[in-house]
Amino acid sequence: MEHSLGEVLVVGGRTTGLMMASELARRGIPVRIVDASPGIDPHCRGNLLHSRTLEIFQGLGLAQAVIEGSLAEYGVRLYVGGEFVGESLHEAVDSPFPYGMSQSQARTESVLEAHLGSFGVAVERNVRLSGLAEEGDRVAATLTHADGREELFETPWLIGCDGAHSTVRHLTGTAFPGDADPYPYVLADVRVEGELDDRVSYLFLHEQGELFLFLPLPSRHRLVVANLPAGHEPSDPPTLEMVQALVRERALPRLKLSAPDWLAHFHIHYRLAPHYRHGRTFLAGDAAHVHSLLGGQGMNTGIQDAFNLAWKLALVMRGIAPEWWLDTYESERRRVAADVVATTRAATEQAELFANVSAAERERIVAHMFVPEPQRLEAARHLQEVGLDYRSSPLSLEPGGWTGGPRAGAEAPQASPIVVDGKTRTYLELAAGTSHRLLIFNGPAAAELDAGLAALARGIRREHGDWIDVAVVVAGPTTPELWSSRPGELGSIGDPTGSMHRKFGADAPCLYLIRPDGYVAYRSRQTDGLDAYLGRLR
């Protein structure tokens, strides 16, 4: 056997694994990524990118490439028994991407794989994990290559991004509790011709079962998903004729299907790993959680799993953060996945129930699908995953005295315009670095930097500059003369319209420590608590 030691090993080369490997590589961490398949799966699979995921991609410079040719989803159009009953429209969320965008997972993977390649890392295809054993400060992984050759690869950390049937999960003996939906489903990636609105997805409720028609993809295909009668286990592969018959029966008879790219039977599973970490091995994406495809949150949740873990692992490997920081990956992200499993299950089972209840109950189900206007924005924030926060995380802390702005654990708001080095930018672009960022708000009326804040900024830069960037946020256009007396010590962010001050609730001098993934770690109106906070984390 060959023998090597060094890089983090990522198992699985789909969206979660590609994001994990590229985020580690972007931070200078040696990484190796293997995948058992011969290449990117051409099938659509995940077909919707949510606002928070697109924000991440924009920060990495990938958003435009990912969404090229895609369409925004503005809502869902509901039919009952073939008759139109109304639309449930999404509210726009406060984001550069106010709505989710349709896109084939194959396209997303292609962009991520090219991004990974820009760091000199390539996915090793036709290589599968066949064994692993933790030995002290390393994991010994057995890799089997296409030609049958076995390689013993020793890695300090192993991350399983290898899907619902995860080999990593099985080899670590991690349970995957949950159950399967009783109804078999059919999925078709097909061209659909007919009078359809490209701005919305469709849900057809029928006494024979429900049928979903999702937003069109750049290829002009749509995903058609329908459950089959209870107790019917398909024994033969689905056909285009079969799916056409379901559309004719439950949806709009004039719709014509053609050019199938993918036809498959599947069962929905609802499962959540009890732990995301097993010693020096982690689970992410579908390896840790699976659920209904309604809402299109699976791929997005996996990408954000990777975005959460990678920066923490990088800081631990660089000797900056203690190892217990890695435990916050599970405590922060497992709660998110549990919510996704529960909410997608509730929505799916509600639609399934329609065919099996009385007329009165059917009316109640339909009425429940139209969210009242006051609740639509909160529902949209939840769907687009911009309302996530980690307030219960041990990495989140804030003293009292706040009446506005994002609390510790919340996502930093996407303020714009801001001015950095004479260029107009958005905060989202600024937040795309690999370090924490200490934002010192000088206050909306201050002409000079408070002496206490200046001393704090210099101290943080001196003692923690290897992992914390420091910048003063100045209301109004940045005045170079004001900061020229401190060359090389402080960065500055001009806030010409006051947008950043308002969104951060900075009506007086204050400070925010922002994590590399864009969430608030700490905030305070005092200067004497940050050292204690940083000491507590070390």
Q: 501 near 473, Cβ under 8 Å?
A: yes
pLDDT of 287 > 70? The answer is yes
Peptide bond into 413 cis (omega under 30): no
Q: What is the pLDDT of residue 478?
A: 52
Mean pLDDT of 502-512: 92
Chain segment 347-364, per-residue pLDDT in tens: 999 999 998 899 999 999
Q: What is the pLDDT of residue 3?
A: 41
pLDDT of 431 > 90? The answer is no
Chain segment 466-488, per-residue pLDDT in tens: 999 999 898 876 544 444 334 34
Mean pLDDT of 399-425: 88
User: Predicted confidence band at 232 (pLDDT cuts at 50, 70, 90)?
Assistant: low
User: Predicted confidence band at 456 (pLDDT cuts at 50, 70, 90)?
Assistant: confident
pLDDT of 45 > 70? The answer is yes
Structural domains of the chain, with CATH: 2-47+104-176+273-356 (3.50.50.60), 178-269 (3.30.70.2450), 418-537 (3.40.30.10)
Mean pLDDT of 152-162: 97
Closest C-alpha among 434, 468, 484, 461 to residue 537: 468
Q: What is the pLDDT of residue 427?
A: 83
Q: How far is CA 36 from CA 40, 176, 262, 266, 285, in A?
A: 11, 21, 21, 21, 17
CA distance 396 to 409: 5
Mean pLDDT of 84-109: 93
Mean pLDDT of 113-133: 98
Question: pTM (2 decimals)?
Answer: 0.94
Q: 345 near 352, Cβ under 8 Å?
A: no
CA distance 366 to 431: 42
pLDDT of 263 > 90? The answer is yes
Quick check: helix, strand or coil at residue 401? coil
pLDDT of 514 > 60? The answer is yes
Q: Of 136 and 428, which is predicted with more confidence?
A: 136
CA distance 475 to 425: 15
Chain segment 216-227, per-residue pLDDT in tens: 888 888 999 999
Q: Of 302 and 237, which is predicted with more confidence?
A: 302
Q: What is the pLDDT of residue 310?
A: 98
